[in-house]
């Protein structure tokens, strides 16, 4: 029977959780009590709300009706029975999800126990309210004129600690908020304006500062973008310079390798020529030795002939010896000491190359330093190209074992100098060839 009655109530009456909930803890009423204004609360909630307050400040959390003394709290048996039955049958809809205040949030001043997150602060009441406890400010005419703002902490700081009045004025002389009584006492004669007027002025200054800061941010962002572009340009330039320098130094190395091969081939060619001449002369001498040995054998055989007539006849028929050898007197055997001149010339060339590299690389380093930390591709590339051209002109080779001593002088000057002086090793080679030629 009781169950059917509850079903009937559920159909005929739109049960609202708020009607059976405590507006302080927002949960289903527990030991409900009704205060003189007609609103009901949990007994512990309303006691906790009034605890520590003066007798003349006892008021209803919802309608703000004030009581001269703390009302007697008596359990509302009808509400208690209804809420108890609702808990048993589960007819009451589930409680809404509560947004409890965190450590950094503004908590509702009305909630007891675990406080909910405040949605507004009232500058008239000097209290912050959650959504549930803020409802009277929308429903009660006396509360509708209150000044509601976004929730913030320390509302009591807006109260003058001396006169216990709201500080609605601002003293420009002392740069502090004051109440109207302060303006007539210790701040009398000071430059005072309303806090709202000062806020308007400071707000204007703040907006101007914001504009300046935003402009500076835009300027710095442009500068950062320019620096990023400069970084990209620098990286591209340096990469290009490094690539070009690697190619140029590779060409220089190839040039040196090529000239080394040419000098080596020239030496080998001269070696083959000289050795061929010596071998040819050696063959001629060996042939002459063979002929002389044959003549010596004939003469020895003739000297053993006992018949005088036969001896004289054979001796008279001997062919005359060919002219005296022209080689033995002109051949002078010397060690290849003239090759030391070639080694000296190569060492001198190495020293000159080291001097050129040191000079040019110093010039390149100074060029990089003078561009004020910004690499200029065209200038750097030109420096390397000029270095390559100067180095190539200095590394033009002369005759075998000799190198140009002219440096940056042109080819005609080098040719004239070589024709006039010749290299030391080249002169030694020509003298050696002359001696061999005269012996042959």
CATH number at residue 66: 3.30.40.10
In a domain, 48, yes or no: yes
Q: What residues form DSSP beta bridges with 58?
A: 67
What is the number of helices (H) and of strands (E) in the chain? 11, 10
Rg of the chain's alpha carbons, rounded to an integer? 60
User: From residue 278, how far is each of 111, 327, 337, 429 by CA, in Å?
Assistant: 123, 12, 17, 14
Cβ neighbours around 184 below 10 Å, total: 10
pLDDT tens digits for 370-407? Answer: 765 554 444 444 444 454 444 444 433 333 334 333 33
Q: Is residue 410 scored above 60 in pLDDT?
A: no
**Which stretches within 90-194 are classed as H helix?**
136-139, 180-184
Task: Work out how many domains the chain is built from and give that number.
Answer: 3
In a domain, 291, yes or no: no
Residue that has been written with the tokens 């490094």 in this structure: 242
Of the three residues 198, 217, 239, the one that is the final residue of a domain is 198
Asked whether the beta carbons of 170 and 176 are under 8 A apart, the reply is yes
Of the three residues 378, 401, 435, the one that is the final residue of a domain is 378
- Residue 139 is part of a domain; what is its CATH number? 3.30.160.60
Higher-pLDDT residue of 177, 343: 177
Q: Is residue 128 scored above 70 in pLDDT?
A: yes
Of the three residues 163, 198, 233, the one that is the final residue of a domain is 198
**What is the model's pLDDT at position 228?**
94
Q: Is the dihedral of CA 341, 343, 349, 351 positive or negative?
A: negative
> Which residues of 126-241 form beta strands (DSSP E)?
127-129, 148-149, 169-171, 176-178, 192-194
Q: What is the rounded distance in angstroms from the CA atom of residue 108 to the CA atom of residue 91?
A: 29
DSSP codes of every residue in 337-388: TTHHHHHHHHHHHHHHHHHHHHHHHHHHHHHHHHTTT---HHHHHHHHHHHH
In a domain, 174, yes or no: yes
Q: Which range of residues forms the domain containing residue 73? A: 17-89
Higher-pLDDT residue of 101, 372: 101
User: From residue 391, how far is each of 197, 349, 357, 396 by CA, in Å?
Assistant: 81, 12, 8, 9
Average pLDDT of every residue of the chain: 76
Mean pLDDT on 324-331: 58
pLDDT tens digits for 47-86? Answer: 888 876 766 667 888 887 888 888 888 888 888 888 888 7
């Amino acid at each position: 029977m009781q169950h059917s009655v509850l079903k009937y109530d559920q159909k005929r009456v739109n049960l609202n959780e708020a009607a059976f909930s405590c507006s302080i803890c927002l949960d289903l009423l527990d030991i409900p009590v009704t205060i003189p204004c007609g609103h009901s609360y949990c007994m512990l909630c309303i006691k906790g709300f009034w605890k520590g307050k003066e007798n003349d400040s006892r008021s209803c959390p919802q309608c703000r009706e004030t009581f001269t003394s703390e009302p007697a709290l008596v359990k509302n048996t009808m509400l208690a029975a209804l809420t108890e039955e609702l808990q048993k049958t589960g007819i009451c809809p589930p409680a809404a999800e509560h947004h409890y205040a965190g450590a950094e949030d503004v908590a509702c001043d009305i909630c007891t126990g675990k406080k909910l997150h405040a949605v507004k602060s009232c500058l008239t009441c000097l209290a912050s309210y959650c959504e549930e406890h803020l409802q009277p400010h929308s429903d009660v005419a006396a509360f509708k004129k209150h000044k509601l703002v976004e929730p913030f902490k320390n509302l009591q700081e807006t109260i003058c600690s001396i006169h216990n009045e709201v500080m609605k004025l601002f003293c420009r002389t002392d740069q502090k908020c004051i109440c109207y009584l302060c303006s007539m006492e210790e701040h009398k004669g000071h430059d005072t304006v309303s806090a709202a007027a000062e806020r308007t002025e400071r707000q204007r200054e703040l907006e101007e500062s914001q504009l300046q800061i935003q402009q500076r941010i835009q300027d710095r962002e442009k500068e950062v973008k320019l620096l990023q572009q400069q970084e990209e340009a620098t990286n591209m330039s340096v990469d290009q310079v490094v690539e070009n320098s690697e190619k140029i130094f590779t060409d220089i190395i190839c040039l040196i390798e090529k000239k080394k091969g040419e000098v080596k081939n020239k030496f080998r060619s001269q070696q083959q020529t000289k050795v061929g001449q010596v071998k040819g002369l050696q063959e001629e001498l060996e042939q002459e030795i063979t002929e002389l040995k044959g003549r010596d054998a004939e003469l020895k055989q003739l000297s053993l002939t006992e018949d005088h007539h036969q001896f004289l006849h054979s001796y008279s028929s001997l062919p005359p010896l060919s002219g005296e050898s022209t080689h033995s007197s002109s051949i002078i055997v010397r060690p290849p000491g003239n090759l030391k001149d070639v080694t000296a010339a190569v060492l001198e060339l190495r020293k000159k190359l080291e001097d050129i590299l040191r000079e040019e690389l110093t010039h390149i380093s100074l060029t990089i330093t003078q561009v004020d930390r910004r690499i200029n591709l065209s200038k750097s590339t030109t420096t390397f190209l000029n270095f390559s051209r100067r180095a190539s002109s200095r590394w033009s080779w002369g005759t075998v074992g000799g190198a140009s001593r002219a440096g940056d002088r042109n080819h005609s000057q080098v040719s004239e100098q070589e024709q006039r002086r010749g290299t030391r090793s080249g002169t030694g080679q020509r003298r050696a060839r002359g001696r061999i030629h005269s012996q042959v």
